[in-house]
Amino acid sequence: MTNNSQQPKPVLNRLVVIGLGLIGSSLALAARQQGLAAQVVGISRRDSTLELALEAGIIDRAEQDLEAVASELKAGDLVVIGVPTLTLPAVLEDCRRLLASDVTITDVASVKGSVVNAAVEIYGSMPRQLVPGHPIAGSEKSGVTAAVASLFVDHRVILTPSEVTGSDHIKLVTDLWCGAGAIVTSMDVREHDEILAATSHLPHFLAYSLVDTLAAKGDNHEIFRYAAGGFRDFTRIAASDPVMWRDIALANKDAILVILDQVMGNFNQMRTAIEGGDQDYLMDVFTRARDARNHFGKILDSKALSSPMTEKTINYRVAPGGNAQGDIRVPGDKSMSHRSIMLGSLANGLTEVTGFLEGEDSLATLQAFRDMGVVIEGPEQGRVAINGVGLHGLKAPTKPLYLGNSGTSIRLLSGLLAGQSFDTELTGDSSLSGRPMGRVANPLAEMGAIIETAAGGTPPLKIKGGQTLKPINYAMPMASAQVKSCVLLAGLYTEGQTSVVEPAPTRDHTERMLRGFGYSVTTDGSTASLSGGGSLAATRIDVPADISSAAFFMVAAAIVPDSDITLRHVGVNPTRIGVINILRQMGTRIELTNEIEVGGEPVADIRVRYAPLKGITIPEDQVPLAIDEFPVLFVAASCATGETLLTGAEELRVKESDRIQSMADGLVTLGIDAQPTADGIRILGGQLGSGTVASHDDHRIAMAFTIAALRASGEILVEHCNNVATSFPDFVGLAQQVGISIDLESA
């Protein structure tokens, strides 16, 4: 056991830092303060620097050159070269001459290609003892007096080892940086230099250039006096060390020139736009850049919901019991949010959306349209403004469209992208990458689309543009609104009438919203039809609260005696109200009030109160109407007296997880008799116990087991709840508000 008063064991023997600039001296200081090395030796040609470093406790021992210490160094010792980039080859030459081959060497230069080239030239080939490195940290201040031990905490250090680099050497360097609080990753040399040219080197040159331009004006004194925040923010880094940046400019010339040319091209376009009063161009660039900056800002603050490599796993620890009382509005409907972006983008004119769901799934759709050149403002508190480009105005994306966890995005997009003039590729996360896409690829192929899935009919989807699509009359083999919508959206790009016949009613938001955009869609019994060749007129859309999210709190109220929960402004489209019908049949008291119609969709407040629940045989016609609500309905069934039987629901096996198996496993863990069948489940009501359940990265499974805790005898730990953010960003806050006690644990 370590205790705080003990110094941790050093991770290396002797640390020799050559060059006591900001980085070298900060690393030496961190090593001393954290006890990372048995001895820290500083090397500088200047006496004054060495004196300052000794005085400030940055180093234990000062030397003027490597020769003074080289013969003492052996395996387990580490030499860090912290000199400017162009001076580095000379130091490396000293290393070759003076150091034994088992002494580890690393550097901190911002350019890695030049270090590797110098090493190959000096040693004849890459020496196994050299681990090129680059801490992404620093400030505009320089020199030993600027040293701060915390400079590297939570900052990245990129190592660019080659195949010959020794793993013992990599480990030593990694241990040092980790000890200083940094996050160590590795990268290919070329990739490093290209990325750094764009993200670090270019901004410095822009800042130097702007300040120099203004400083060259005769009246610069006045200009600088009045220069406000923008100038100050943008030019802080122009106070950086000129030698260092001169060296970087020369050492990373190739990569810098590429990005510099791109920016200069952009500048020229902007100049032309300003000169010609091209408002659209300016709005396009500024909006895209602002949104990208907001997105990157979240990553910079490590707040992005989906930064895959670094994301921490979130578990919910839910205490048993709670009272289930409240008056709340859950976030916007996911299905409608997706469609508002898609149809708004394809319309002519500005579509304004309120109540948009800011969940990862609908944001994936939004990003996909931005990637295809649509200017979309927001979302800001559920408000989105989409500058529609018309049915034929999308532009080819420069990279595959990444749709995260979202089945609705990939399936609906495949339909409308099949009709475009350009090729696209659609990808997703590991759950989406395992889901069946043959169900959309097959009818699209019948329409003449060229669409390729991975083996097994899963994503990625590769869609070849420029095809002439033919209308079809498609009898869907399964009741799927996603497939229906996909075919109808492809139908927009055909000449003639496309019809889809569904085996059972499925949600009809696509049809209703198309009509809201002035596009004629007919529904005749189980057949929805439209004719291609029309256009969509921009409109306003008010997205109501999502009944699929409300369902969690409906069940919360349904299982807790004396509960009373009101859910405001919920979409109660007849194709979505299976959860109301099923809960009512089980005995729950549910009242709908304030029933109105908003933008062609029925909306109501839903009040739910407890009454004893009884098990039922769920009518099969309710299955598509409650398709997303079954995980939490299974929790209701577990709290009912008697048996609940679900059949005809094999679709649940191909959702974000196999929802029959995921729920059965978790319920059994909690002591419930739950028996999965091929197309459903049989659940015998009983006492929910306590335990650890897996969400299988499925948002609805995670939320269902959270609700289960209300009636559990002990704590429930729900694992891997990150994906709750795909559909219900503030689930935890609202759950706490109605009386559920959840602690978030990051694993």
List residues with catalytic annotation: 628
Report the DSSP pairing between strands 133-135 and 130-131.
unpaired
Alpha-carbon distance of 659 to 645, in angstroms, equals 15
Distances (CA, A) of 357 to 265, 334, 352, 383, 745: 37, 6, 14, 9, 25
Reference 336, options 645, 503, 576, 98; nearest CA is 576
Total binding residues for ligand S3P by CB under 6 A? 11
In angstroms, what is the minimal distance from the CB of 620 to ligand S3P?
14
The window from 115-123, 260-268, 308-316, 480-488 that contacts ligand S3P (CB under 6 A) reads 480-488
Identify which of residues 139 and 526 has a Cβ nearer to ligand S3P in the complex.
Answer: 526
Rule CB under 6 A: which of 638-657 touch ligand S3P?
651
Q: Are 486 and 472 in contact (CB under 8 A)?
A: no
Q: Which is nearer to ligand S3P, 94 or 698 (CB)?
A: 698
What's the closest the beta carbon of residue 470 comes to ligand S3P, in angstroms? 24
Which residues, 6+ apart, have CB-to-CB distance to 269 below 8 Å?
A: 281
* Binding of residue 564 to ligand S3P (CB under 6 A): no
Only segment of 236-244, 381-389, 474-482, 581-589 that touches ligand S3P (CB under 6 A): 474-482
Residue whose CB is nearest to ligand S3P in the complex, by number: 335
Taking the least distance from each CB to ligand S3P, the nearer of 102 and 651 is 651
Q: Is 507 in the site for ligand S3P (CB under 6 A)?
A: yes
Closest CB 610 distance from ligand S3P, rounded Å: 28
Q: Name which position in 409, 480, 539, 563 contacts ligand S3P (CB under 6 A).
A: 480
- When asked if residue 453 is in the footprint of ligand S3P (CB under 6 A), the reply is no
Give the DSSP letter string of 191-243: HHHHHHIIIIIHHHHHHHHHHHHHHTSTTHHHHHHH--HHHHHHHGGGGS-HH
Is the CB of residue 636 less than 8 Å from the CB of residue 610? no
- For ligand S3P, the binding residues in 210-249 under the rule CB under 6 A are none
481 near ligand S3P, judged by CB under 6 A: yes
The three-point CA angle 468-492-508 to 5° equals 140
Asked if 435 touches ligand S3P (CB under 6 A), the answer is: no
Using the minimum distance from each CB to ligand S3P, give the nearer residue, 542 or 698: 698
Q: Which of 18, 115, 82, 105 is nearest to 241 (CA)?
A: 82
Query: Contact letters (x/-) for ligand S3P, 385-424, by CB under 6 A?
Result: -----------------------x----------------
Pick from 26, 25, 204, 196: nearest CA to 115: 196
Measured between alpha carbons, how far is 406 from 699 in angstroms, rounded to an integer? 11
Residue type, position 652, single letter? L
If binding is defined by CB under 6 A, does position 700 make contact with ligand S3P?
no
> Whose Cβ is closer to ligand S3P: residue 252's or residue 335's?
335
Residue with smaller CB distance to ligand S3P, 245 or 634: 634
Q: Which is nearer to ligand S3P, 245 or 630 (CB)?
A: 630
Q: What share of the chain is helix, strand, coil (3-state, %, to 5)?
A: 45, 25, 35
Buried b (16+ CB within 10 A) or exposed e, 650-661: ebbbbbbbbbbe
Minimum Å distance from CB 334 to ligand S3P? 7
Is there a contact between 446 and 440 (Cβ–Cβ < 8 Å)?
A: no
Q: Judged by CB under 6 A, does residue 335 bind ligand S3P?
A: yes
Which of these segments, 212-220, 422-430, 481-489, 633-641, binds ligand S3P (CB under 6 A)? Answer: 481-489
627 interacts with ligand S3P by CB under 6 A? yes
133-135, strands of its sheet edge to edge: 133-135, 156-159, 183-186
Nearest by Cα to 658 from 635, 681, 687 = 681
| Contact positions vs ligand S3P (CB under 6 A) | 335, 408, 480-482, 485, 506-507, 627-628, 651
